[in-house]
Amino acid sequence: MPPVKDVAPSSLLWARKWKGLMKALIDSKYLGNFVSRTTRGSRVVVVSNREPCLHERTAGGIEMIRPASGLVTALEPIVRATHGIWVAHGSGSADRYVTDEKGRITVTPEDPQYTLRRVWMTKKEENGYYYSISNRALWPLCHIAYTRPFFSRDDWEIYKIVNRRFCEAILDEVRGEPAVVFIQDYHLALLPRMLRNERPDLKLVHFWHIPWPNREAFRIFPWGEELLDGLLGNDILGFHIQYHCNNFMGTVDRGIEAMVDYEHFRIHRGGHPTYIRAFPISVDFRQIGRDAGSPKVAENRQRFIRELGEEVLQTKLYVGVDRLDYTKGIAERIQGFDIMLKRHPELVGKATLLQLAAPSRTHLEEYRAVSDEIDQRVDEINWHHQTDGWTPIRFLRAHHDYYSVLAAYGMADVLMVTSLHDGMNLVAKEFISARTDDDGILLLSRYTGASRELPDALLVNPFDVDEVADAMHDAFHMTEKERKGRMRRLRRKVRRNTIFDWGLKIFEELETVLPVEEQA
Ligand code: ADQ
């Protein structure tokens, strides 16, 4: 039988083109307008631990800093279009000096679009709520990267106090009015139930950005029932992929008293339904593509070349861009590189691993341990393989700005994402969006949410460092035709599901499960 070609009738091609054009319009404005239409008559409140802009004391006075974040890109259009409220932890050193007595500031003061309400906490509270329960208990529990979670009853009490403080700030902002509250992540798991108890009429949507583990892994969490009850205060609870939704359903089914409805992916607790849904997060594909060609990226590329030496570009460049976190599999990627060089000595001097690693959660001993382990491995491997004029691993420990990250993506022959487990992984999607030249290879861990959407990457099990080495070697020899074919298909996938589609799907689902009553 002859091969079946993907030939569509011309009307269908036109329909696809038209859809593509329309999609180009589904940008921040479209999302903002959609949300303001579907939430009419209600206040819109976004809640997250991290704030979209912070104020820092500097030598010259006070400076407003807007951290580059994919999440801010998606959530700001929503609060802007609805003149909404963003509630977050006020963590900047000068945050208190620029807010009113309730912790409020208009963003931006010159061009008021939304209100940022800052929630304050003491050092002790930040330690208990953020570093301990969020990042030493829930983070390792949900990732199952074989780092033992740490549980402290005192810190759990603090986690509750801080969640309560967020609840009070939100109630104070919405007063008696109807509102849609869009909560982010694992720092605020108890907040939905607290809000529901005070205001049963609120519409509550929560997005969990990290994986949800299976019930066997979850059952060691000492306050599991309280945590699940907290999350079941929501109307919609979103995860990146269906697998995490399935895990959550299974955890509740065996964990607490609730009616788990697999037909509708819905859980009833105390008579109230929570819909469990998958919304794969993404990036601003078009904007990243535009920025990748900007003069700032070209400047950063030159800076890298000056710092690393021209010779680096004559070798095949394997690039990693990560927070320095034990879930990201940086040590495994380094081991894979070492094995490749040992098995294929002909590649000595012909391949370089460039790792950009942003220090993260450095107060925690698990993070210091992984950082030390990586330093040691880099040292050993460089000592073992290096020659005059070639260093196999270039390790740049720093937070790089957006334009240098884009420059690194542009220089990469192979972008390495070897997370041991990851809710989604935005680095993979940023890399694809930046490669407007349709070139470059993505080597991607099977245990990222992104791998479900991106089968044209070279998929690996990062726990199997031999497999990582083999995939790195395959990438070295991949033909231009195959590289470009794969990249074109990867780009099509990300173009079809951007960060704005993510926001849109969440609010479309809210409209489906809780339609706005027809206005008289
Ligand atoms: P993270 O664990 O932070 O996010 P990821 O999705 O990869 O992981 O996002 C990292 C972001 O930091 C990217 O935007 C990247 O460009 C940036 N970054 C990484 N290293 C950097 C460096 N050295 N310098 C500067 N910037 C750097 C959590 C979950 C993920 C999920 C996201 C979004 O763990 O699984 O994809 O939330 O939901």
Of 426, 431, 447, 453, the one to substitute when testing ligand 1's pocket (max ligand atoms within 8 A of C-beta) is: 426
SS3 147: coil
Q: What are phi and psi of 277, to 5 degrees?
A: -135, 150
Angle between helices 402-411 and 295-308 (to 10 degrees): 70
Residue 71 alpha carbon to ligand 1 centre in Å:
10
Same domain, 269 and 138: yes
User: Would 105 be classed as within a structural domain?
Assistant: no
Taking the alpha carbons at both ends of the chain, their separation in whole angstroms is: 61
Same domain, 359 and 248: no
Q: Which atom of ligand 1 is nearest to the CA of 427?
A: 7
Q: What is the pLDDT of residue 1?
A: 35
Q: Which atom of ligand 1 is nearest to the CA of 207?
A: 38
* Nearest of 363, 345, 355, 444 to residue 395 by alpha carbon: 355
Residue located nearest, by CA, to atom 9 of ligand 1? 426
User: Would 325 be classed as within a structural domain?
Assistant: yes
User: Would 51 be classed as within a structural domain?
Assistant: no
Residue 404 alpha carbon to ligand 1 centre in Å:
15
Cα separation of 465 and 255, whole Å?
Answer: 36
Identify the burial level of 58 via C-beta atoms within 10 angstroms of its C-beta, where 0-12 means exposed, 13-18 middle and 19 or more buried. Answer: exposed
Same domain, 269 and 231: yes
Same domain, 321 and 453: yes
Residue 321 alpha carbon to ligand 1 centre in Å:
9
Cα separation of 93 and 70, whole Å?
Answer: 23
Contacts of 148 (CB under 8 A, 6+ apart): 140
Same domain, 255 and 371: no
Whether residue 108 is preceded by a cis peptide bond, meaning omega within 30 degrees of 0, is: yes
Q: What is the pLDDT of residue 272?
A: 96
What amino acid occupies position 348? V
| Neighbouring C-beta atoms of residue 3, cutoff 10 Å | 4
Same domain, 369 and 267: no
Please work out whether the CB of residue 185 comes within 6 Å of at least one atom of ligand 1: no
Same domain, 171 and 24: yes
**Helix, strand, coil % in the chain, rounded to nearest 5:** 50, 20, 30
User: Would 99 be classed as within a structural domain?
Assistant: no
Q: Would you give per-residue pLDDT tens digits along the chain (520 residues)?
A: 333 333 445 665 666 555 555 555 557 888 888 888 889 899 999 999 999 999 999 998 999 988 767 678 779 989 998 999 999 999 999 999 999 999 999 998 788 899 999 999 999 999 999 999 999 999 999 999 999 999 999 999 999 999 999 999 999 999 999 999 999 999 999 999 999 999 999 999 999 999 999 999 999 999 999 999 999 999 999 999 999 999 999 999 988 999 999 999 999 999 999 999 999 999 999 999 999 999 999 999 999 999 999 999 999 999 999 999 999 999 999 999 999 999 999 999 999 999 999 999 999 999 999 999 999 999 999 999 999 999 999 999 999 999 999 999 999 999 999 999 999 999 999 999 999 999 999 999 999 999 999 999 999 999 999 999 999 999 999 999 999 999 999 999 999 999 999 999 999 999 999 876 644 3
Q: What are phi and psi of 321, to 5 degrees?
A: -135, 110
Domain harbouring 403, CATH code: 3.40.50.2000
Please work out whether the CB of residue 241 comes within 6 Å of at least one atom of ligand 1: no
Q: Which helix (H) or strand (E) is 381 found in, with range?
A: helix 365-385
Which pTM value belongs to this model?
0.94
Strands 203-207, 236-239: parallel, antiparallel or unpaired by DSSP? parallel
- Give the distance from CA 303 to its chain's centroid: 27
Q: Residue 464's domain spans which residues?
A: 287-496
SS3 322: strand
DSSP secondary structure string for all residues of 42-108: SEEEEE-SS-SSEEEEETTEEEEE----HHHHHHHHHHHHTT-EEEEE--STTGGGGS-TTSEEEES
Half-sphere exposure of 156 (CA within 13 A, CB side): 12
Number of structural domains in the chain: 2
Please work out whether the CB of residue 400 comes within 6 Å of at least one atom of ligand 1: yes
Q: What is the pLDDT of residue 89?
A: 98
- Give the distance from CA 515 to its chain's centroid: 29
Residue located nearest, by CA, to atom 4 of ligand 1? 425
What amino acid occupies position 503? G
Please work out whether the CB of residue 430 comes within 6 Å of at least one atom of ligand 1: yes
Same domain, 77 and 146: yes
Q: What is the pLDDT of residue 441?
A: 98
SS3 237: strand
Inter-residue contact 335 to 355 (CB < 8 Å): no
Q: What is the pLDDT of residue 112?
A: 86
* Nearest of 167, 7, 164, 31 to residue 87 by alpha carbon: 167
Same domain, 149 and 271: yes
Same domain, 206 and 257: yes
User: Would 424 be classed as within a structural domain?
Assistant: yes
SS3 44: strand
User: Would 239 be classed as within a structural domain?
Assistant: yes
User: Would 446 be classed as within a structural domain?
Assistant: yes
DSSP secondary structure string for all residues of 255-299: HSS-EEETTTTEEEETTEEEEEEE------HHHHHHHHTSHHHHH
Residue 49 alpha carbon to ligand 1 centre in Å:
15
Same domain, 134 and 206: yes
Please work out whether the CB of residue 425 comes within 6 Å of at least one atom of ligand 1: yes
Q: What is the pLDDT of residue 257?
A: 96
User: Would 371 be classed as within a structural domain?
Assistant: yes
Same domain, 245 and 372: no
Find the angle CA(71)-CA(72)-CA(76) to the nearest 5 degrees. Answer: 125
Cα separation of 170 and 513, whole Å?
Answer: 23
DSSP secondary structure string for all residues of 152-221: -HHHHHHHHHHHHHHHHHHHHHHTTS-EEEEEESGGGTTHHHHHHHH-TT-EEEEE--S----HHHHTT-
Cα separation of 351 and 334, whole Å?
Answer: 13
